[in-house]
Structure 1
């Protein structure tokens, strides 16, 4: 525990200008990011008497070992920089908004040539416009099924779309007029995008102009005695009205607004938001928040607005920011926050508290939903939190550790008879899997030897950055090496500390005493002595310590054993997934991959020209050489490698080249000319 006085800036060195500050711990990780109108006034408050600070604030300043700041011109710039740093560093003591469940949303892939309508969950992607979220996926599918008769846009996967292009026939939706079938050219890319744009306008709440347009077209068709067309337009209008009826009308003035409700205590809070577009509730979403810094309601609102709308603006280009946002309390600098939100939207955004009428009633409903969501979350998580705490405590006692292992890493090896040897490293923090820190390794040194493979993985995991001291003025980076292996320590290019640099308290290897001793020997060679190493053997679930002749037997009902088993099984699953991917890639390698001088671009050009390897095999050298970038000599090498004839009917065969195919059709067997000689001979013997 550090004394804040040891790193307190000298008097008068902190500027009074607005800016953003960050606290770092002893390993250089950013643990808190904040902004202030006056950096001097705000930072001095952290270095007051610790007894007068909020307990979580006191914990933050005693965990930190350094503080840095960046001066900006305006508070709006400070808001943007604060959001960027929170997103980049993921500070431990900042409020983090985590969804209490995964919500389905209706997504439109506007970044593709032929946009697709589909149901998506998880993080937003660039080039995709989202509508929702919805409470249930079936609600999206019902709405989409109604709207496809009016907006026949593509909903198929890329694989189905390409297949329809190749065979020249649309899928079932194209035959029943629920898709305009751009795959077979029924509509052009521009016409299909216009259909998608109309769909987006309807989902965004601009339905009345479209309904008026369809009604006018129906009247015109009826006047022209085109009753069949008028009937179709009537059905389209009915489908649109039924889709609108599925969304509850809550505000009669066509309001576009987001209503935020927050309920919580000093430890946790629940956040619920209602998305109202065109006076109708288009979606609802919820978060559970850990209040690590003891923020009041106004600070919670500010943190939510910063993280939520900053992220959605990155994905949706600002279209997710409504004209009006109703909150339970205004942030301290609500005027600057309103300017920042207006900049994201591109027009004015009103940030205020609902005072009366329907908007206040809906805001109270959002707060009530937040209260109920927090109650459900605590009931659900109580047993899990208790069992995780018990597991970590039991594990520390059984292994003789001074404190509970908050970070545990596990290594597992996967291969089939020494081929495609890979390893996985999974991470659990506070008893929960942290998948962002998972790593995969391709074994290089001793494939087939599990003990040597364990030693190699441990060496590659801990060799970089071991014993290095972090300069106080460097930034932290969350970059991961392109080959998927860990890179602890300082980035030689950027000078930043990588997020995976800090070590675990416990390292678990899948195996018995040999594997444990190998991992322990590597850590000893690297001079690392503060990491406990154990092995978990599968046969009797024995826990092995380095140098011990007898294992530790945990009780079968022990929470610690359950945690170790979950850790080992997750490492095994992750390793098997990587191994199967490598094995599948090796087994499905194309025959073109083995031809010398034929790189990826030439292979792609060949497949694009002929359609398949079989058709390339049937082609002559002259036909192959017509592809740009492939000469006649390379074409002859391709034909020979694929078992074809390097000559052609036009130019004659090369007498010096080996004859690998039949030169003409067999009158007896009726086999084609490209039949290999070996197959021809075997067939001839059978015929005789």
Structure 2
């Protein structure tokens, strides 16, 4: 691990101007490329105290052994040079999008003497016009089959074309009128190129004028009593309309735009792009990436724009690019896009109307793509095994933690405090064993005491069920000795406790190898203390802090930092996020029940929306009861008359007595998912 101070440039060496910089490792390989409006300010930010750097940034600067930079004139030049160097060096710490699958495009080889229409995948080539990408190759072939009736462009391979020219006889498509047969000289090279250009214009969205021209020709042919020609033109128009119907109209104003949406978490991001031409969705594609550098949504959008349009020019860059967040600063990126298009490009966030609605659809697709990617990754047995081995190695466990339980605390300003317990076995969620807890009230928001309580309650139940299982086993042994073992049924386990299908006691009788808590040192210490008080020493404990994704162990002053690409870190994050989701869902359901069963229900004319506004404004019914009429009026949507009614109703209603469970005081519910 290198010390960043060993290669830090001397003060005054770094220019205060736009530029692009490169970090290299000890072997001279470029590991990170970045751009900056001010090289001095940006590079200085990397050489501060390591404790103040983001985990990913800290890993990068300690891996690097040198830094160099290139000064440019403008931020636009910096953007272009950054893209060029990322393509050239493929640095390991830069965000690099990778296709979640290979999308086919409709391609027209305009660089050939006789242009050919075909399906293409992979990197784009010079002299070829592309349309799409499409979700499926068969969708392209159906569209082309309909359009060849009107634009009989060559679709055959070079070998078929050459053979037909040698024998002087066209292929089947030439005989049925779906190819103009330039191979045998039915049309000249110029006439065939004109057909190809009309095909490209139609695919590019200039459809209205062409259809109107065909309609006019059809009417002229009918007036001149050329009915066969008129019928052929009519059928051509119908074929083109059917081809257009395959792409739904989403923007009524015939807009040409690309819509980009991003779904992300701490470790990964998914990007979805809809290509809209002439108001219709012409193609869709998606990328996923590991967030190897500390980057926000705006940064992810900028990287997506670079990858999407870095090698594109002309019509491939649309007039509008709609994004969920604007790069900072936005002017150089917009100018760079305009230079690639040859005219102004409107880069903005949609605010209202059809475009905002379509952006919501793209966002949903991005979110689904991220979930699908995570599901595929989690379902891989080899990946799960490697993740468990990495966790065992990092935490110095004797064996891989085949059962992991994670706990999280959730509340709203200290009210309705709840906890969740989620279970992962062999790296997969076991939702039938999820549990939810209602936490006793503490003064203030004490997540540490709450964590201590819930861990203690869970493992007290484990010890109780373990003791009952032992009593049941002894009784079973006595019955066997008396020859009555056949009368013992597994369903007659201790105290009426049933067993699962695989023979294990239900609820809390099966202990985990690892307990994960959502939090840092204090929460980990509380969990370890609860286990020590119960005499449980064979269960490991760790905590995962959200801010820097650090793994904390009991009694350790420094966290364990797993590598950014670690499958173990990915699994721990999934477990923690699932516990967080489950806790929030339970806490929200409790808030809803409290809201419906509270004294506000007795106030006439007070609906759900204003009840929620009151509780959000004051935090609890107790604080609302202590508020004056003037303070209640400060709540949005509450007038003075309504405030007076609320104050009178709360004054008349006695505070509800707290519910007490005479046994354990806990709520344990099945997940039901």
Superposed CA offset, 1:585-614 (max 9, x none): xxxxxxxxxxxxxxxxxxxxxxxxxxxxxx
The answer for the alignment partner of 2:419 in structure 1 is none
Q: Tell whether the 8 Å contact from 2:258 to 2:276 is kept in structure 1 after alignment.
A: yes
The answer for the alignment partner of 1:168 in structure 2 is 168
SS where residue 103 of structure 1 aligns?
coil
The answer for the alignment partner of 1:257 in structure 2 is 257
Superposed CA offset, 1:3-50 (max 9, x none): 111110011100000000010011111111110000000000011111
SS where residue 282 of structure 1 aligns?
strand
1:384 positional shift: 3.5
After alignment, is 378-387 or 110-119 more displaced?
378-387
SS where residue 96 of structure 1 aligns?
coil
The answer for the alignment partner of 1:220 in structure 2 is 220
Residues of 1 paired with 2:263 and 2:387: CA distance? Answer: 31
Superposed CA offset, 1:565-592 (max 9, x none): xxxxxxxxxxxxxxxxxxxxxxxxxxxx
1:107 positional shift: 0.8
The answer for the alignment partner of 1:609 in structure 2 is none
The answer for the alignment partner of 2:156 in structure 1 is 156
Superposed CA offset, 1:315-336 (max 9, x none): xx33210000000000001111
Residues of 2 paired with 1:162 and 1:193: CA distance? Answer: 18
Change (3 A) 1:229 1:298: same
Residues of 2 paired with 1:140 and 1:205: CA distance? Answer: 16
The answer for the alignment partner of 1:90 in structure 2 is 90
Change (3 A) 1:193 1:389: farther
Residues of 2 paired with 1:2 and 1:45: CA distance? Answer: 17
Q: How does 1:342-381 map to 2 (within 5 A)?
A: 342-381=338-377
Change (3 A) 1:385 1:258: farther
The answer for the alignment partner of 2:622 in structure 1 is none
Q: How does 1:66-465 map to 2 (within 5 A)?
A: 66-311=66-311, 313=312, 317-384=313-380, 386-387=382-383, 390=386
Change (3 A) 1:385 1:293: farther
Residues of 2 paired with 1:385 and 1:334: CA distance? Answer: 44
Superposed CA offset, 1:421-476 (max 9, x none): xxxxxxxxxxxxxxxxxxxxxxxxxxxxxxxxxxxxxxxxxxxxxxxxxxxxxxxx
Residues of 2 paired with 1:102 and 1:388: CA distance? Answer: 26
1:392 positional shift: 12
The answer for the alignment partner of 2:26 in structure 1 is 26
Superposed CA offset, 1:59-118 (max 9, x none): 111111110000000111111111111111111111001000111111111111111101
Residues of 2 paired with 1:391 and 1:8: CA distance? Answer: 36
Residues of 1 paired with 2:172 and 2:331: CA distance? Answer: 54
Q: Tell whether the 8 Å contact from 2:3 to 2:62 is kept in structure 1 after alignment.
A: yes
Change (3 A) 1:364 1:202: same
Residues of 1 paired with 2:196 and 2:246: CA distance? Answer: 21
Residues of 1 paired with 2:335 and 2:189: CA distance? Answer: 38
Residues of 2 paired with 1:380 and 1:239: CA distance? Answer: 40
1:145 positional shift: 0.5
SS where residue 31 of structure 1 aligns?
strand
Q: Tell whether the 8 Å contact from 1:267 to 1:294 is kept in structure 2 after alignment.
A: no
Residues of 2 paired with 1:91 and 1:176: CA distance? Answer: 53
Q: How does 1:471-486 map to 2 (within 5 A)?
A: none
Q: How does 1:495-644 map to 2 (within 5 A)?
A: none
Change (3 A) 1:23 1:388: farther
Residues of 1 paired with 2:232 and 2:241: CA distance? Answer: 14
Residues of 1 paired with 2:218 and 2:339: CA distance? Answer: 42
Q: Tell whether the 8 Å contact from 1:262 to 1:271 is kept in structure 2 after alignment.
A: yes
1:301 positional shift: 0.8
Change (3 A) 1:90 1:351: same
1:390 positional shift: 3.1
1:388 positional shift: 8.1
What do you get for the CA RMSD once the two structures are aligned?
Answer: 1.6
1:123 positional shift: 1.5
Q: Tell whether the 8 Å contact from 2:7 to 2:66 is kept in structure 1 after alignment.
A: yes
The answer for the alignment partner of 1:454 in structure 2 is none
The answer for the alignment partner of 1:674 in structure 2 is none
The answer for the alignment partner of 1:52 in structure 2 is 52
Superposed CA offset, 1:395-445 (max 9, x none): xx9xxxxxxxxxxxxxxxxxxxxxxxxxxxxxxxxxxxxxxxxxxxxxxxx
Change (3 A) 1:206 1:385: farther
Q: Tell whether the 8 Å contact from 1:262 to 1:269 is kept in structure 2 after alignment.
A: yes
The normalised TM-score by structure 1 is 0.56
Residues of 1 paired with 2:385 and 2:197: CA distance? Answer: 52
The answer for the alignment partner of 1:638 in structure 2 is none
Residues of 2 paired with 1:21 and 1:14: CA distance? Answer: 11
Residues of 1 paired with 2:244 and 2:121: CA distance? Answer: 23
Change (3 A) 1:391 1:357: closer
Superposed CA offset, 1:345-392 (max 9, x none): 000000000000110011111111100011011111224484387399
The normalised TM-score by structure 2 is 0.57
1:222 positional shift: 1.1
The answer for the alignment partner of 2:580 in structure 1 is none
1:57 positional shift: 0.7
Residues of 2 paired with 1:85 and 1:392: CA distance? Answer: 37
The answer for the alignment partner of 1:669 in structure 2 is none
Change (3 A) 1:381 1:11: same
Residues of 1 paired with 2:277 and 2:115: CA distance? Answer: 23
Residues of 1 paired with 2:297 and 2:249: CA distance? Answer: 29
SS where residue 160 of structure 1 aligns?
helix
SS where residue 97 of structure 2 aligns?
strand
The answer for the alignment partner of 2:569 in structure 1 is none
1:266 positional shift: 1.6
Residues of 2 paired with 1:200 and 1:61: CA distance? Answer: 49
Residues of 1 paired with 2:295 and 2:247: CA distance? Answer: 35
The answer for the alignment partner of 1:594 in structure 2 is none
Q: Tell whether the 8 Å contact from 1:104 to 1:134 is kept in structure 2 after alignment.
A: yes
The answer for the alignment partner of 1:564 in structure 2 is none
Residues of 2 paired with 1:391 and 1:163: CA distance? Answer: 56
Aligned positions, number: 391
SS where residue 329 of structure 1 aligns?
coil
Gaps spanning 5+ residues in structure 1: where? 398-688
Change (3 A) 1:385 1:97: farther
The answer for the alignment partner of 1:16 in structure 2 is 16
